[in-house]
Structure 1
Amino acid sequence: RCPSHRMLAMRRGENEGILKVTLIVDDEILLDTIGRLFVKGRNDSAVQVSDAVKDGYKRLLFPSIESEYLSLSKQKADEEAIRVFAENLRQLLLAPPLGNKRILAIDPGFRTGCKVVCLDETGHLLHNENIYPHPPRGEYKQAAAKITNMVETYDIQAIAIGNGTAGRETETFIQSLRFDRKLQVFVVSESGASVYSASSIAREEFPEYDVTVRGAVSIGRRLMDPLAELVKIDPKSIGVGQYQHDVDQTKLKESLNRVVESCVNRVGVNVNTAGKYLLMHISGLGPVLAENIDNYIRENGAIRSRNELKKVKRMGAKAYEQCAGFLRIEGAANPLDNSSVHPESYTVVEKMARDLNVNVGQLVGNGVLCDKIDLKRYVDERIGLPTLQDILDELKKPGRDPRSVARVFSFAEGITKIEDLQEGMVLPGIVTNITNFGVFVDVGVKQDGLVHISEIADRYIANPADVITLHQHVTVKVLQADKDRKRISLSIKQA
């Protein structure tokens, strides 16, 4: 009956040498039960057999059953923890993207200053420099002039600020500036950005820049497209899940890799802007083919049709069949190349268009025309009604992204550190992690607070994930703020 997170906590305590986990059973009842099986008489030999039963039980049988049981319970707890982690990762990867906008991204800091980068619509680095708006240097005016100048020069459309050290102070600084246009300001999670910036992938992408520039670029790209950026980071470094370092690492890796692949394939990718690290997660493509596609685009320019993919080195018929439906070609002559309709179904779409006396371009995205299609007419031995329904849904909204659109979130003003929290305060927060025992919420004080499962709703909840999603905007009430232990207790239902 012990929940998985408690079992993993106890096992961690045991591994650290602080606890000893054992099973407590009624030895007398068990010895009596075993004795009845083996001790048949009331003579001297029966006494010897009885002693042997006791010795066998204490020395061999009980330790064996205990280790077997603890192993099985650990396995069960691992499976549950991996399931929680996988679901959190899925929600994180499918977080709303801002889309192709020109971004100014800031990796905040006090002593070392704030690293600022400007990115174009495809995430390429245009410019980088340091500003020092905070103490000890406090160059507020110079920093303000630099930011407004960069916004104007690089035609910036949105600003992304990392949520780490000096994040709230930098947000306040940016909000105090006046720009020549309306800009959305987003606070972006930095989890794993430092891991990416020191990785071989980052060194390959930005060999001439240091880790601070790479970290700021990662923050900006996360706002544009969280999926494309987070696939470059080991999922264990992203900071979601529970006891991920205590579970079976092989099973965890397998599970997380499956989640990444399923998310990438569900969303689909623009083949000309995706980059090899995203492409390698597409069905049918691996590291080699992804690199070959990347090289082909560098040598020949943008791919103009799905058919052109066949010219890529080592792109066989089987690999093409598996990957084509997940790769989008924006601006292709055939509008279906920018949809999730697979090339093998193009003929049936062309037939639908002919029957309506229009071309495919007129049919795609036209809901009125699509509603006139009688799908039963196109069922054959190769294509069934469910597939035809999927095709019709895609024709109505071609290339639709299953993810919603990024929304601006603002923390409460004047609340920047744990000392600012008072019992009874009601604050806006954003969900950063979901576990079996509750959810963690960021209220803007650099330390996430815990909403225990009993404080989520007024009814019984078996699993927080049933009612809460990652990155959900919530309102919470402060129940307790322990400044010494840096622990914050929050409630959603009381807010």
Structure 2
Amino acid sequence: MTILQYIISQTQLPEQGVKNTLNLLNEDCTIPFISRYRKELTGHLDEVQIADIVKHKDIFEALEKRKATILKALEEQDVLTPELQKKIETTINLTTLEDLYLPFKKSRKTKAEKARQLGLEPLAKIIMSQNANDLEAIAFKYVKGDVSSVDNALEGARHIISEWINERTDVRNNIRFQLERHATISTKVVKTKADDEKAQKFKDYFDWTEALNRIPSHRLLAILRAEKEGFIRVKIEVDNDHILAKIEDRIIKSRNACADQISLAIQDAYKRLLLPALTNEALQIAKDKADEGAIHVFAKNLKQLLLGSPLGQKRILAIDPGFRSGCKIVCLDAQGDLKHNENIYPHQPKNDSAGAIRRISALVETYNIEAIAIGNGTASRETETLIRSIEFKTDIQIFVVSEAGASIYSASKIARDEFPNYDVTVRGSVSIGRRLQDPLAELVKIDAKSIGVGQYQHDVDQSKLQKQLDVVVENCVNAVGVNVNTASTSLLSYVSGIGPKLAENIVNYRTENGAFATRASIKKVPRLGEKAFEQGAGFLRIKKAKNPLDDSAVHPERYAIVQKIAKDAGKSISELIGNSAVLQNINLKSYCSDSVGLPTLQDIIKELEKPGLDIRQQAKAFAFNQDIKTINDVNEGQVLPGIVNNITNFGCFVDIGIKESGLIHVSNLSDSFVKDVNEHVSLHQHITVKVLEVDVKRKRIQLKLEK
């Protein structure tokens, strides 16, 4: 099977689209570039479908690499037959491939290998023939040297037979079938840990049983974490008697002494070799499935977070609130540059609220502040209450901003390079303010796993998680576009075709030579060749450029088409842009060619109507209930405003303005069945909730979504 056939079989995508996408990938084209600028070739495949092609391309190539390794090993052992080679070359499943290789693996000293060295393999073959009349007499012939008795001889032969049974693909697949459909996962608390305070969050799983093929991803990951931390023991169970009977029916064809020995060998193979290996495999498959589900949730949350509403280029006063250490204040200009920083101490123990109000009022006036961003950590509510009590001379918007990951950023090399002369508290406050201006530009500086959205992100396969999150960040950055004259190295590094090194070169060139005047001038950056320019130019913006197309998503390779359209319409490009009356009456088919079709032309017209339009909505101010300061203020039946701050498969968490987030379980999102939480809420959505239950001891709040 070719890579093309394999990917089509796995994705069900059109052959021509897959074929052309593979060719583009082999030419080092990126997912954002292919999905945006090569629609004619792909047949309108979006970035999700192209990413799916990339995933299965990687799987196929890894499978082919493993096949080559196995074939080489079998050739070196001189055991590769034409039949075995054909089976290996035609398999498209890694598990099947490993089963084929299993009998030939060079293993450590096993019981079967020791028995072979004692010369007992012929006896094992006689038993497996199942036609020996006096098995004890035959076995007696092998009693010599280290084989001290007939029982020893038969036991050794059984070890060899057990290994043969373990290596049979049909037996292994039958057990897999039973495990896949009928296995249960059960848990028991480790008695010595039952009263451990840390174990209490896993209390639901102190005695739990559930079908392995039905357990939700979040529950399995929670169980595995509890096991890893030593609070519970986990066991995969299945009907052993039923499986043993199935194996015996498959292997035993006689009713003599040979059958008895084979039956004992089957039980040994099952208990010692097959069951441990295949239950571990079944659990790993379930874990992989759970990982995939959790990673999918994390990716969706991250996308919503990165595409969160920006306030835009506004002058911000940002506050990282605190009690004893005070509140760190920074003032940022519209470009996010730091203009001032200081500390105020409005809360305990100093309680200088009057002095704090005077300083904030003065700073707002001095730096023409347009909005205030307050971190949502310790002392956030108290600080918000203070700020809202101030009577400003101008209309000042007040926002509470998530601090998740800010401490990671403030201690990072990126932050040290940006602010080498300031400590972590200043850097953290700057990050809070910049997140309000542009969440995407600021959050790309932080490891996505530290942002705090998703479920059990530290328990899933970290390489798969990182790979998926990188794709999400790349897609978000390129969907929005990047101002090449103001973007940080971190942001530029996610632009299609750029990467960290070229991003650094762009910033260094910009620092030495000033702002880029045109997209074409970006080619002057060291090591930024034609391929990188082709991949990235459409996603890089030049604000207030001489050619207005440089501040649009129209790719430079299509400027000539726009110029022709403008000329035919009797307009300049500037006159054409935003002129819907003209643009909507253009006969696009007349501009089609072998390389440019309607999809590209339709995208061009859409972009010309609203060039550089930000796909994100603008940030809106939000106010929590000012009477709710701690969990002790929350009572059953209250209706409160809240902000969705995390989404999982089992519901969503809501910030109601206190340290503890409340949970809306899926069953409380709607009166009807909820298939996907994201169909009812989105990250950072402003919603109204009703309090159903408050468990102060366990710090849990159950909520219901109010329509």
TM-score with structure 1 setting the length: 0.98
1:30 matched to 2:243? yes
Shift in Å, 1:44: 2.4
Tell me whether 1:361 sits opposite 2:574 in the alignment.
yes
Note the C-alpha offset of 1:264.
Answer: 0.3
Q: CA deviation at 1:116?
A: 0.4
Number of aligned positions between the proteins: 494
**Equivalent residue, structure 2, for 1:45:** 258
Q: Does 1:339 align with 2:552?
A: yes
Aligned to 1:402: 615
- Which sections of structure 1, spanning at least 5 residues, go unmatched? none
- Using the alignment, how far apart are the partners of 1:180 and 1:298 within structure 2? 38
The answer to whether 1:236 aligns with 2:449 is: yes
Q: Find 2:429's aligned residue among 202, 206, 216.
A: 216
Which residues in structure 2 correspond to 1:79-158 (within 5 Å)?
79-158=292-371
Partner of 2:472: 259
Q: Percent identity?
A: 59
Q: Is the aligned partner of 1:71 residue 2:284?
A: yes
Cα distance in structure 1, aligned partners of 2:507 and 2:322: 35
In the TM superposition, what is the alpha-carbon distance from 1:408 to its structure 2 partner? Answer: 0.8
Look up the SS of the partner of 2:233 in the other structure: coil
1:431 aligns with 2:644: yes
Decide which of 14, 22, 30 is 2:227's aligned counterpart: 14
Q: Which moved further from structure 2: 19-28 or 309-318?
A: 19-28
Helix, strand or coil: the match of 2:398? strand
Deviations 1:224-279 (A, max 9, x none): 00000000000010000001001000000100001000100000011111121100
3-state SS of 2:313 partner: coil
The match for 1:207 is 420
Tell me if 1:419 matches 2:625: no
Shift of 1:466: 2.2
Q: Partners in 2 of 1:144 and 1:32 — Cα distance?
A: 80
Instruction: For residue 89 of structure 1, give the secondary structure of its aligned residue in structure 2.
Output: helix
The DSSP-based 3-state class of the residue aligned with 2:689 is strand
Distance in 2, Cα, partners of 1:323 & 1:45 = 72
Whole-Å Cα distance in 2 between the matches of residues 19 and 374 of structure 1? 69
Deviates more, 1:21-30 or 1:165-174: 21-30
Give 1:41 shift.
2.4
Deviation at 1:366, TM superposition (A): 1.9
Q: CA RMSD in A?
A: 1.0
In the alignment, the residues of structure 2 paired with residue 251 and residue 61 of structure 1 have an alpha-carbon distance, to the nearest angstrom, of 29
Bigger Rg, structure 1 or 2: 2
Q: Which structure has more RCO (C-alpha within 8 Å, separation ≥ 6)?
A: 1
Moved more, 385-394 or 464-473: 464-473
What 5-or-longer segments of structure 2 have no aligned partner?
1-213
Name the aligned partner's letter for residue 163 of structure 1. N
Q: Tell me which residue corresponds to 2:695.
A: 482
CA distance in 1, matches of 2:623, 2:486: 31
The one-letter amino acid of 1:161's match is I
| Letter of the structure 2 residue corresponding to residue 206 of structure 1 | F
After TM superposition, give the deviation of residue 467 of structure 1 in Å: 1.9
1:468 to 677, 681, 684: 681
2:275 to 62, 83, 86: 62
SS in 2 for 1:340: coil
Match of 2:481 among 268, 284, 307: 268
Deviations 1:62-90 (A, max 9, x none): 11211111111111111111111011000
Look up the SS of the partner of 1:21 in the other structure.
Answer: strand
Report the counterpart of residue 461 of structure 2 in structure 1. Answer: 248
Please tell me the residue identity of whatever aligns with 1:327: L
Query: Match of 1:471, as an amino acid?
Result: H
Separation (CA, whole Å) in 1 of partners of 2:500 and 2:256: 74
TM-score computed with the length of structure 2 as normaliser: 0.69
Provide the rounded CA distance (Å) in 1 between the counterparts of 2:521 and 2:251. Answer: 77
- In the alignment, the residues of structure 1 paired with residue 358 and residue 418 of structure 2 have an alpha-carbon distance, to the nearest angstrom, of 30
Q: In 1, distance between residues paired with 2:528 and 2:257? A: 81
Provide the residue aligned with 1:170 in structure 2. 383
Tell me if 1:317 matches 2:530. Answer: yes
Counterpart-to-counterpart distance in 2, 1:184 and 1:454: 35
Shift of the alpha carbon at 1:39? Answer: 2.5
The equivalent of 1:297 in structure 2 is 510
Structure 1, 225-234 or 303-312: larger mean CA deviation:
303-312
Q: Distance in 1 between matches of 2:542 and 2:444?
A: 21
Letter in 2 for 1:374: N
CA distance in 2, matches of 1:40, 1:481: 64
- Following the alignment from structure 1 to structure 2, what is the Cα–Cα distance between the partners of residues 28 and 309? 71
Which residue of structure 1 aligns with residue 565 of structure 2? Answer: 352
How far 1:97 sits from its partner (Å)? 0.4
SS class of match (1:2): coil
Q: Does 1:440 align with 2:656?
A: no
The 1-side partners of 2:405 and 2:684 are apart by 16
- Return the letter of the residue paired with 1:434: I
Shift, 1:37, TM fit: 2.1
Could you tell me how far apart the structure 2 residues matched to 1:14 and 1:143 are? 49
Question: Cα deviation per residue 1:398-422 (whole Å; 9 max; x = unaligned)?
Answer: 0001111101111012101100001
SS in 1 for 2:432: helix
Partner of 2:681, secondary structure, is coil
Bigger Cα displacement from structure 2, 123-132 vs 136-145: 136-145
* 2:514 corresponds to 1:330: no
Aligned mates of 1:401, 1:64 — CA distance in 2: 53
**Shift of residue 482, structure 1, vs aligned partner:** 1.2
Letter of the structure 1 residue corresponding to residue 291 of structure 2 = D
Find the aligned partners of 2:502 and 2:266 in 1 and give their Cα distance. Answer: 64
Amino acid of the residue matched to residue 293 of structure 1? I
Aligned counterpart, 1:190: 403
